[in-house]
A = this chain, B = another copy of it.
Amino acid sequence: MARSEPYHHENLRQTLLAAAVALIGEVGPRDFTLREVARRAGVSHNAPYRHFPAKDDLLVAVATDGFDQLTALMQKSSARGKTALGRLQLCGRGYVDFALRSPHHFLVMFDLPKISHEPCKDEPVGKNAFDVLMGCIMAAQQSGDLPAGDPVPLAWTAWSLVHGIAKLSVSGNLPLSHRATLNFTQRATEVLSCGLMNVEA
């Protein structure tokens, strides 16, 4: 019954990850500290090294967690749409919403070199989220809301627009409220899909 257990915690790896996610949310990547994570998990400053080779590997795990949340939010948001095009737009809205609600987490997901320049990983960390977008795009193509053809360039274009909005908002360069940013996203994606349908060739 709850005897003291100086060694071998129940599941220290997950405890560390949870503490890391919380710490990122509070102080951001710049003030994120391995030793503070260990403190919050109630272990010595070197315990994390038994589960993560280096600080950046723990941050990769944090980013992966972020991509899971992002994927879930995109799915949940897009499910509320009536038409294929509506679902695609809500997918982008969910993307921006996540960035606004978890700005620090969002930063780690896209600005961590270990993730960014991973040399030819067969399964990039953000693949699930990208697949949600791809699904929405292809559905919109089949319903005639987007032009037929290779969906990948369409996905890149849509992703770039929405990612740019998210990044500029998070970095304080779009002077809009949370709500206004989401509306702006909606409007921008409408414009883009209209352009995709009407541009020549």
Contacts and interface: CB of A to CB of B under 8 A. Distances in A.
Interface of A: 28, 30, 107, 110-111, 113, 115-118, 124, 126, 153, 156-157, 159-165, 167-168, 170-174, 184, 187-188, 190-196, 198-199
Nearest to A174: B156
**Number of copies of this chain that the complex holds:** 2
B159 A161 contact: no
B159 A160 contact: no
Contact of A163 (B116, B117, B164): B164
A172 B116 contact: yes
B111 A107 contact: yes
A159 B168 contact: yes
Nearest to A196: B191
Contacts of A110: 167, 171, 173
Contact of A195 (B28, B126, B198): B198
Given A126-B173, A157-B191, 17 more contacts: A107-B111, A110-B173, A116-B172, A116-B173, A157-B161, A160-B168, A160-B188, A161-B161, A164-B164, A167-B167, A190-B199, A191-B195, A194-B194, A194-B195, A194-B198, A195-B196, A198-B198
Contacts of A168: 156, 159-160, 163
Contacts of A111: 107, 111, 171
A199 B189 CA distance: 11
